[in-house]
Amino acid sequence: MPDGELHDPHCLPPGGADALLDGLPWRRFAVLGDSLAEGTGAPSPGYRDRPWAERVRDAMRRVRPDVAYRNLGRHGLRAAQVRDQQLSEALAFGPDLACVLAGGNDLLARGFRPELTEQALEETVAPLCAAGARPLLFTLLDFTLGRSGESVLRPRVAALNERLRAVAQRHGAVLVEMAGHPAEGDRGLYGPDGIHPSMRGHAVIAAQAIRALAAAGRGDGPTAR
């Protein structure tokens, strides 16, 4: 394990991730969404070149080698496009754990309407839940912190996160709270565009996801910080 990642207090070593996931029930893991789901991210010195979803998959497979995985994420999609283009294939895969990671491209668009994004997320999560999948949702890191020129986007990030929490609550989702993370304002979490995570960011996101899954599997509640 690279030194930077090994000593980062916000990351998990493989052994720690495995211990948290050991004994959890999920066997078929699907990921739907945009570039963050797909795994876009710039390299970070001292960190493995491995996106968050693959990190979670690898940890799941170390404790349960038969875990099946399907990542449908694609760069540039809005929440409604994720619903229209990925939901059917995800349902056909038959996941028991389904991540829906979308909305970031919506908030960057002119005329962002959070209620419409929430509706698209609802119409994606509800069928997955009805088919027997436990939803996995994330609030977004506030990438505008420390960037005064993008403060106009800050209320949009907050509004989207509130909508994501509402969808998660309605469906008993495992909710990974990235909003308010201690490292949220650290520029090292982001790539050159200041929006997509770096590989350090992916490592931190994976650690939070694994902690949230472990808490949900123990019955401690859907949200982890």
Confidence at residue 146, expressed as pLDDT on a 0 to 100 scale: 62
Confidence at residue 150, expressed as pLDDT on a 0 to 100 scale: 58
Confidence at residue 1, expressed as pLDDT on a 0 to 100 scale: 80
Burial of 91 from C-beta contacts in 10 A (0-12 / 13-18 / 19+)? middle
Quick check: 164 and 139 in contact, CB under 8 A? yes
What is the number of structural domains in the chain?
1
Phi and psi, residue 195, nearest 5°:
-120, -55
Closest alpha carbon to 131 in 90, 72, 173 = 90
Quick check: 18 and 73 in contact, CB under 8 A? no
Q: Which residues contact 125 (CB under 8 A, 6 or more apart)?
A: 98, 100, 135, 137, 167, 171, 173
DSSP-based three-state secondary structure for 214: helix
176-205 pLDDT tens trace: 999 999 999 999 999 999 999 999 999 999
| Residue ranges making up the domain that contains 98 | 3-224
DSSP-based three-state secondary structure for 186: coil
DSSP assignment letter at 22? T
CATH number at residue 13: 3.40.50.1110
24-62 pLDDT tens trace: 999 999 999 999 999 999 999 999 999 999 999 999 999
- pTM for the model stands at 0.94
